[in-house]
Structures are given as structure tokens and as C-alpha cells.
Chain A
Amino acid sequence: MDRRRFLKVVGVTSGGAAALSACGIGPEPTEQLIPYLVAPENQVPGTATWYATTCRECAAGCGLHAKVREGRVIKLEGNPESPINGGRLCSRGQAALQGLYDPDRVTEPMARGQSGEWQKLTWDEGIARLAAKIKDARGRGIVFVTGLETGSFGQLVDTWMREIGGRHVTYEPFAFEALREGNRLAFGTSAIPLYDFANAKYIVSFGADFMETWLSPVGYQNGFTRAHAFQAGRDASMARFVYVGPRLSLTGMSADEWIAAAPGTEGLMALAMAHVIASGRLAAVPADAARLRDLLAAHAPGTVADAVGVEARQIERLAREFAASKGGLAVAGGMTAQYPNGAEIVVAVNVLNYVAGQVGKTVRFGPNHALEGAGSFRQMADLVADMNAGRVPLLLVHGANPVHSLPGTFSQALGRVGYKVSFSSYLDETAAASDLVLPDLHPLEQWNDSQPRAGVYALQQPVMQPVLPGTMHTGDVLLRTTGKPGTFRDYVQTRWRELHGRLGRGLAFEDFWTDALQHGGIYRDPPPQAVRLSLELGKSAPGGAKPLLGWRPSPEEPLLVALPSIALHDGRGANKSWLQELPDPVSKITWHAWVEVHPETAAKWQVVSGDVVLLKSPFGAVRAPVWVSPGIRRGVLAVPIGQGHKAYGRYAKDRSFNAFELLGDVPTAYGGRAFTVSVAVARTGDHRRLATIEGDAREQGRGVIEVLPLERAERLKPGQHPFAEHGVPSYAERALEEWAEAQHKKASLGDYAGEHPRWAMAIDLTKCTGCSACVTACYAENNLATVGEELVVRRRQMSWMRIERYYTGGDHGRPVGAVVTPMLCQQCGNAPCEPVCPVYAAYHTPDGLNGQVYNRCVGTRYCANNCPYKVRYFNWHNFAEPGGEWESWPDPLNMLLNPDVTVREKGVMEKCTFCVQRIRAAQNRARLEDRNVQDGEITPACAQACPSEAIVFGDLHDTSSRVAQLARDPRGYHVLAGLNTKPAITYLARVVHGDVAETGPHG
């Protein structure tokens, strides 16, 4: 009996036939067709229009391309022309879309009434109230707090504050004060240079998480993979990467070597390396570095080794390698630059770069980062003091949420401010504590501009009509309040007229403006800026060993470090369900915060993952679930920043704990904030199941991830296959041959006859860093539902693409490391899921995909049971049901749904199909133009987003395609190839310097 007949019989006998015809998947077609009054220009129904604009989710300022369908923006991708991100985009940037369509946005102006309730206002009333308050407070200390604004809006605020005798404070919780101060001490300039990862040959990161939140993560990750990728035949193939820091972060996971130096001693290590280079004349040491003789002499490797906790021999080796590479790059940041002695560590790292002759080469001043202009934590502390003293009658806040990041002091001080006005689009903690909320447009609805780094003039244009008609651009509000003529767009254009004078290159202004709009801005190379060693250095402040040793964490209590989160940043990402459900690249935990504990510490305290402990610092206490991880130094605890909101919408509110509550609020010597604190830990006896997607922390030698030492990888010749795939057992050979023949016969029937592409993918694990941008891209492209914390705990997440992270080493004294791999449907040539489907919902397409026909699926889940890769996901609930318990897209979030992809219903299995909608779109386009699809024309969403360019997609049957070439690479292997599944995804083994860390018992 064939399967179809089987089901028919079953259907008749059990009444289950209804399931076959109940194909109510997806929204019902509209019953009314309402035409445009006037068809919008450049909009073709059914076809996307793309607009260039700029991402404002962090200070990096990546260029964006916004995909607009029928007037709604439905996806964000990187702008390939932007020199910042070169067409790539991180998870946070892609999730800006969810900020735009946030169901909890403030819909119209509102003010606190007498009894504290919100009263809705018209804009005229709101602006009149604001104007009245300004009139009252004029000249008496008005303060305007904004995020980093380097363009027209910032200028408008500055000008206005000067006019009314107020003060403009820029507040970024991650303002890189230590980096700026360290550069000032070392080079006499507080500029933040461009770090040229792409041309580096040896990279040492002292805590700088340059793939996560450090300065410009997308661009730097892209540059890093260009240097660190294994490309046999290239001169400087594979720069070595050493990560120094107390915790193995996402950035650290890409390292060839992780050195968990004692917290606060990273600077000593950098100086010791500089000492080795200078004293051994291992590099072209600049002449003026002689001034550092005393400083360096005090930091010989032997002297500092004990303090750092690293053998002198190892420091010497690193220094020699660093110098010998003739392209070393040392960076300091992240955790390391948030210690109380962060600035000194930055100085030490600057000295290392300088001594090695790299300043001006891999450390390039000139194209300086905009964060140089950010305020400092000290300014914020001063503001709090003024507020407490009653010197601030009127406080205006835009683009910052200080009540969340300064939970104690700022909110208390807020009580002594006469009148508080928030321009937030969301009712975050600061807005909730305000007297008047004048909701701003989302950056995707705004005109604005910015200068994320010198030479990059990025333009922001509205990519759609405002989602909420009751919101107004704060720029326009300010112009109206001050009675100035024109709109904010005119204001931006006026500024661009000035730019046109300088950069116009003979173009008429209209052409210049249109050109900038089309390309997302104007990109110029600024002249390089030469820097010399500061004359002060070696003489005073960090001269001698004292200041560098000036801070040591208490040896009695564990040191807690608060980590900037790659998904939530400083907490601003917490209102977006994609980011909440994005597994943290390191811990794989979603929706809540945790405290990372070393296994030995955990054993000492007798706690396991999931046990809730009480963390108590001098400033506050939180309850945190333990996550035991080998990727952290003994005696150090780590908590992620970003959760624990008291407001900020349904996705952020009352989730887990706020790490900022544990931190002090006294500025450090360099004007920043220490993200470290000593804590007392107490068991609470409570336990919770972590909302994690991790299956096993170790790969257990299953062959999911293969690793090759560089020496061996370089010797591989075409045609070699070091990863011997388990052969077919001899007794099964004949059966398989016959079966294959039968398959072939079948394959020559109907649609399957003739030439077809075989869509395939190659994923280079040497490039993949685990940053998870692809995961969010998949959510955005394929209408993946977010299921919420409870369902993730029950392992019912819908993430078609997941990043698996496995720890390596750690036993027998071997160094701890980690390997990562993206796991998605392998589109098997011989797929176990297909033959078990009773209704042919899972079937093999002629072009080699494991198709999944949602409207055929009856939800037996046999396919998922039979999938060895576990990449099929079942809809246990109706995530699209408006108002339903598990609703994933509450209005207006449903506006971001991709109309080219079916929204799946309860009871349906779903999976990755290599973005088949993009394949079909490319085929349609090619057919209209009477040609064939070109290699590279189709890019699945994951490959498009990938900041490392690790994913290549194409037709395996086209032998000249990039993917076919990569599939022949000797590094290539297939996951679980022994199952004879014949996957379409070829993974290219990760190549590491030095020994291969064993991935499991079998190696």
C-alpha cells in the first residue's frame, strides 16, 4: 500500500480526512480591494523597493538597505556601499524593524495628570506645555540628555541649548571613556582610531569584544575574518588571534589562544610584550620610544608573570610572534577597558602597538570613530549631583534610558527635578518617570544624518510613512517649540548645502542630495593623522609600575564583571522579541539573564546550572540563575547587561535582573564607569530551568565540527579528503546500489527529468564566529515565530537556523576553547525526513531541496523524528492568531511579515528551504530577462547578513560556481555523513594555529 492510499484509508475510517482539506494556513485573502488614490512613485505592487538609510541601533552607524513592500518596510539589510559595514548587518541592526513596529510604542503625546495617571494631549497642547516649561526654566539650568548624535539633530540641540542657557549631555552607557583617555595619555589625542583588522597579521585583543559591541562590530568582524580566514595560497593566510581576558566571549571563541589573565593585569602583560620587543629590537621601534625605557624596564615578563598569572615564557613567545608578523594589532576594550584601571591598560596596549611600529599601519588615526564625541560617565555623575542639589528645573531626555542604566542614583535624583520631558518612542523607565512624553518617530521614519566616523556622512531618510500618525519627529518638535520656520528635513538639507560646498565636486546641489540619498550618504577617505608618543608618557602618570597595579580586585570575594550583551546592548534591545529569543552566542540562553560560574567554583559552592543565587554587591543585590561554564576564569563571575527592565514594553518588562543594579555609580579616574564589582554570593535554594537551546556543551567527537591544525591544512592538496566519511558497510553496498539505481529511474520521470540545479551551500567554519546575525536574518526573512521564554524552556523554539557552540579542551591541562557551527536544514540528497511523510508534505524538489509543503502537512511529526540534524520545527501553537495566547506578531508587529512566505499555522512542521522564495524570485527575474540564473544572484538571508561572509550559496551542478569549488575543497566535510544522507551543505573545517584542541573523547 503506498502512503497516499494509506492515509486515505485512515482518513475514511477515523474521520481524519478533514485534516487533509483543512488547509487554512496563512491569513485569509482580503475581501476588499482598496486602490490607491494616487499610485506612489517607484512602487510596484508585489515587488520590493529598496531605500538606503542608516542604522541607529548603536554608535557604529552601519549603512542600511530597507526593503519596502506595498509601503511597509519588511526587512533590513546592510548597504554594500557603506564603508562601515560593507553590506552586512548584525542582529541588533536587523531587529530595528521590531522597534519600528513595537506594539507598545507611545501612540501620542501624553502628560501626567494630578493623580499621576497619563492624559492624552494633542500635539499643540504638548508643544505649548513644553514651551511654557522652557520659558519658566530658561537660564536656570535646563538639561537635554541625548544619545550620541553626531549630525543635524545633535547640532540642533546644541544650538538650542546655547540659546536658552541650557546644557546638552550626551549619554551612552558604553561610551569608551577608557579608550579615549588612554589614547589621550599615550598620544595626546582622545580620538578613537580605525583598527585595520583586515590587514593585520597577528591580533591580540585585551578584552576588546570587537564582534559584539566594541565600536563597529560588523565592520571589525568582517575585517577580522578577512585576516583570519584560511585561504591557502594567500601570502599572509590566517593571522593568529590571541584573546586575553577573564571570560571567553564570543570574540574570544574565534581565538587561536585564550589567555585568562588575572583581571586588571592585562596592561602588565601588554607592557611586558612591549618590553620584549623593545629590548630585543624585534621590530622597527620608533626612536622616541626610548623615552619608555624606564617604564618598560619595570615590566619585564619575569617581573609581571606572577601578577598576570601567565608564564614569562609565554609572554615572550607572544611578543616575538607579534613582532615577527610585521603586522601586529593589539586592541583593548570591552571588559578590560571597564576596570577601574581601564585607561592605564589602554595606554599599555597603545605602547605595545607603538613599540612594534604599528601605529599608523594597523592602528590608523584619521578615520576616527564618532564615539570620541560621546559624553562621559563623569558628566552624567555631575548631572546627577546637580539634580540632587535641585539645580535642574527642567530635564529633557531623548534616545537614552538612564533610569535603567543608573537604577539607583538617577531615579532618586529624578525626584528632585522640577519637570521631566521624554522624547522616547517607548514607555521605557525614563519615560515612565517623566511628566510629559512627546513620542518621537522611529529612526526608520525620520530624516536625520550622522557622521559615524570621519569621512562618512551618513544620511537617514524615512523609508515609510509613520506607523503611528500621532508621533512626531523630535527635530520638528524642537523647531516648532522655538518658533523656527521650516521642517527638520529642511534643517538637514541646510546642513547638507554646507557639505555640498566642501564635497560637492562640481555637482548641482539637487544631484548631490539625490546621489547621497541613493547611496546612503557620502563616503570620503579622510587624510591620515600622524600621532607621536605623548611627551608626558614615561614621565608622570602611568610611569613606573604603580598606577598600572593601582587596582586589584579583592581576593576574598569573587569579582563580578557585567558584560555588554551582543543582543541587548545596554538594554535597548530588550523590547524586541527577536533579540530576546536570540540565544546568546556564548551561553545559548534566551529571554533571561544568568551568572556565569567556573565549574570548580560551582563545585565549591555546590551549585549547578539553574540554581538561583543571591549576588550582593555594596550597591545592590539581585537573584540570578547560575550557568556553569568552563569559559570563565576561576574566581570571576559574569552577568550580562540588558535585562531587568521595570518598563519598556511587554517583551522587556520584568524579565530577570538588571546587572546595572550591582554596579557602583562613582566615576573612575578616567571618567568612565567600572563594570566590575566584588560580590558576596549566597545560595537561595531555588532552581529554575534555563531557557537554553544548548543540547550538549561538548561535541563528543560526533563529527559535527572538524578542526585542522594550520600546518596540516596548508599541506592539503586538491582531491584529498582528510575527513574520511564513514563508508557504507560492505553488507549494505549492493542493496544501496540497487536502491540508488531505482532512485535514478524515478528521478528521470516528470519534473525530475532533465537538467536541474542542485542548490547547495558551503559554510567556512574558519570564518564563522558564531555572532548569530544569520539567525535573526532568518527570523526576519521567513516569518519565524518567537515563542517566548516558557516555550523555549520546553525546547519549542522555531529557529530554523541555530548556532551550535561546543567547548573544547579544559581537561588534562589542555586550554579551553570553543568551536561554533551554524546548523540548518542540510537539504539532504537522501533525506530521512522525506520517505516517512504520509502526505508528501516533505518531499524532494527537482532542484534538490527538501521541500516542505505547509498546506499539505498534517503534523504527524514523523519527519522531525527522523531528522538526524534536528532542524525541523513544529508549530505547537497558533503563533499568528490575533489576540491568541501565543501570539507572536501582535499588531502592528504583523506588518513586518514577509508577504512572500506563508505564515504557518498550528499543527504544521516547518523548516529551512534555502530561502526558496528568493530562489524562485531570482528564477522569475531571470526568465523575464530571457537568461539563466547567474552564480551569486541568489543569496539566502543568512548568507546575506553574515558579517564574516562565511556562507556561500549556489548551484552544485554548475562546476564553475563558487559553491561547487568550495565543495571540492579538501577541508570540506559533511555532518553525520556516515548516515548516507548526502547533505547539500559542505562545511569547511575550522583551521587553528597550533595544536588541535580535542573536541571530544574520540578527537
Chain B
Amino acid sequence: MTKGSGRAAVGAAVACLMTVPAAAQNGQPAAYQAPVISDTGKLAGPRQPLFFRHDVHAGQYQIPCLYCHATVAVSSAPGIPSMQTCFGCHQLVAGGKRPFGGGSTLSAARDSAARAAEAAEVRKVQAAWLGKKPSEWVRIHALPGFVRFPHMRHIKTLGTESCINCHGDVRAMSQVYQVATLKMGWCVTCHVQRQVSRDCTLCHY
């Protein structure tokens, strides 16, 4: 099995499992539509070099987490998508054409400005790929050097949609921020609730 087909197969399987984000469930049956962001300064979380929107990709377009974080189910590290993965779609998808959420009542001028802004971010991705300069993401979720966290064990037990348990519902985050403390007490709380091992050398070695 080639890598590409493996990833696609996983993606397809996961797409069926995905639940539609809560925001989209009440009201219209239409899929969740990520809001237009006019002031990025108000968003939680660190500003990234590229305004990548999880709410657009994972929320509005329901791209499964594993499409980009492909190794999360098989390895301790989830993997950050390569620029090639981004460009795989964005050589065709220019951005700025998606339906705007929030009962979009923007004026024509503001609507086109927002679309231009989103398209501009996509052009940054394309430029990064063509210029062979990967964007340097600011790390949000980090554990100290003395902690081992095997992602695959958690995905195996809790399922591929369980990412939100620790990372929050990134499908509704325009800019990702840290939701859980990721401190040991927080880890242990969950391990106690689920009656799984709390042995120190489970994570510390």
C-alpha cells in the first residue's frame, strides 16, 4: 500500500465518524460555516506566521484531523503536515470562495475584502511551497522533555475524533489556542476516571 492511498483510506473512514460541529446542528441543516474574521488581534492563542484556519479546514470542510496529522494513529508523534500536503490542495484551491458563515450580512465591499484576505493567505502557502520556505509555526501544545505521550495509544482507545479531549474543539477555532493545561494532574484525572494505569513510568522515563 502506498503512503498516499493509506492516508486516503484512513481519511475516508474517519470522515464517516466525524460529528458535525455543535454550532451547525441547531438552525439550518447546512454545514458549519466558519465566521469571517476581521480582527485577528482579538483571537485567542499565539499569532501564527500564516493565518491557517482549523475552523475552515476541519470545521467547515470537515477534513478529518488524520488527513494532515497522518501519523497520530500509528506513532507517538502526530506529525505536522508537510508543505507538500498543503500545496496538494492549494495548487487548485485559491481560497476566498467559501460560503461565509454567521448568516453573512456583509456589505459587498467588506465581503470582497474578506475574500481577498483569505485568498492572500492561500497565496502565502503557495509562495512557501514554491519558495521552499516552510512556515515556522508557533508551538502551542508542548510537554516537558521528561514526559512521553504516545498519541497512538490514545487514538486507539478513544477513537480518531478524540483529539478534542486534549486539544479542544479546533473545528471551531479560527486560531488554535491551548485549552487544557496539559499538567500532570489534568492527565491523571482522566486516567483515574477511566481507570487506567497511573504508574509513573508510563510517561516518565
A interface, CB within 8 angstroms of B: 23-39, 41, 44-47, 750-751, 843, 845-847, 849, 851, 853-856, 900-903, 913, 916-917, 920, 924, 927-928
Contacts and interface: CB of A to CB of B under 8 A. Distances in A.
Nearest to A46: B77
Contacts of A46: 71, 75-77, 79, 151
Given A31-B138, A36-B134, A45 B77 contact: yes
Given A25-B144, A928-B156, A45 B134 contact: no
A27 B146 CA distance: 9
Contacts of A927: 153, 156
Give chain B's interface residue range (CB within 8 Å of chain A): 35 or more
A175 B145 CA distance: 47
A901 B200 contact: no
B66 to A, nearest CB: 13
A35 B80 contact: yes
Given A31-B138, A32-B138, A34-B134, A846 B153 contact: no
Given A46-B75, A47-B75, A853-B201, A32 B137 contact: yes
B133 to A, nearest CB: 8
Contact of B145 (A44, A902, A924): A902
B152 to A, nearest CB: 6
A37 B88 CA distance: 12
Contact of B135 (A35, A856, A900, A913): A35
A45 B150 CA distance: 12
Contacts of A854: 146, 204
A38 B86 CA distance: 10
Given A26-B145, A35-B82, A928 B204 contact: no
B200 A37 contact: no
Contacts of B75: 44-47
B94 interface: no
Given A36-B82, A37-B132, A38-B82, A45 B71 contact: yes
30 contacts: A23-B146, A25-B145, A28-B144, A30-B139, A32-B138, A32-B139, A35-B82, A35-B135, A35-B137, A37-B129, A38-B84, A44-B75, A44-B79, A45-B78, A45-B79, A46-B71, A46-B76, A46-B77, A47-B74, A846-B197, A849-B201, A854-B204, A855-B204, A901-B205, A902-B146, A920-B150, A920-B201, A924-B76, A927-B156, A928-B153
Interface of B: 3, 71, 74-85, 129, 132, 134-139, 142-146, 148, 150-153, 156, 197-202, 204-205
Contacts of B82: 35-39
B163 to A, nearest CB: 16
B167 to A, nearest CB: 14
A851 B79 CA distance: 30
B148 to A, nearest CB: 7
List of 10 A-B pairs having minimum Cβ-Cβ separation, nearest first: A26-B145, A46-B77, A29-B142, A46-B76, A45-B77, A46-B75, A36-B82, A39-B82, A902-B146, A33-B137
Contacts of B148: 900, 917, 920
B132 A751 contact: no
A845 B71 CA distance: 30
A801 to B, nearest CB: 17
B80 A917 contact: no
A913 B129 contact: no
Given A845-B201, A927-B153, A27 B145 contact: yes
A619 to B, nearest CB: 53
Given A32-B136, A851-B200, A37 B84 contact: yes
A23 B144 contact: yes
Contacts of A24: 144
A39 B132 contact: no
Given A39-B79, A39-B85, A47-B76, 15 more contacts: A25-B146, A27-B145, A29-B144, A31-B138, A32-B136, A32-B138, A33-B136, A33-B137, A36-B84, A37-B84, A37-B134, A900-B148, A902-B146, A924-B150, A927-B153
Contacts of A845: 199-201
Contacts of B156: 927-928
B80 A928 contact: no
Contacts of B79: 39, 44-46
A38 B88 CA distance: 11
B90 to A, nearest CB: 14
B205 to A, nearest CB: 5
Contacts of A31: 138-139
Nearest to B149: A46
Contacts of A913: 201, 205
Nearest to B76: A46
A811 to B, nearest CB: 46
Contact of A39 (B74, B84, B146, B204): B84
Contacts of A25: 144-146
Select the residue from A46, A851, A916 with max chain B CB neighbours within 10 A. A46
Contacts of A855: 144, 146, 204
B172 to A, nearest CB: 22
Nearest to B157: A927
Contacts of A751: 197-199
B165 to A, nearest CB: 18
Select the residue from B85, B142, B150, B204 with max chain A CB neighbours within 10 A. B204
B8 to A, nearest CB: 15
A262 B175 CA distance: 82
A27 B74 CA distance: 25
Contacts of A853: 200-201, 204
Contacts of A924: 76, 150, 152-153
Nearest to A908: B146
Contacts of A39: 79, 82, 84-85
B146 A920 contact: no
Select the residue from B3, B145, B199 with max chain A CB neighbours within 10 A. B145
Contacts of B201: 845, 849, 851, 853, 913, 916, 920
A29 B143 CA distance: 7
Contacts of A44: 71, 74-75, 77, 79
A846 B197 CA distance: 9
Contacts of A846: 197, 199
Nearest to A923: B153
Contacts of B71: 44-47
Contacts of A33: 80, 136-139
Contacts of A30: 139, 142
Nearest to A855: B146
A27 B3 CA distance: 32
B143 to A, nearest CB: 7
B189 to A, nearest CB: 15
Contacts of A916: 201, 205
A793 B143 CA distance: 37
A927 B146 CA distance: 23
Contacts of B81: 35
Contacts of B202: 920
Contacts of A41: 3
A913 B139 CA distance: 32
A952 B197 CA distance: 27
B183 to A, nearest CB: 11
A328 to B, nearest CB: 49
A902 B201 CA distance: 12
Select the residue from A28, A36, A843, A927 with max chain B CB neighbours within 10 A. A36
Contacts of A928: 74, 152-153, 156
A24 B147 CA distance: 12
A434 B136 CA distance: 43
Contacts of A35: 80-83, 134-135, 137
A39 B197 CA distance: 35
A214 B152 CA distance: 46
A374 B96 CA distance: 70
B31 to A, nearest CB: 28
Contact of A29 (B3, B80, B145, B150): B145
Nearest to B142: A29
Nearest to B203: A920
B199 A902 contact: no
B200 to A, nearest CB: 5
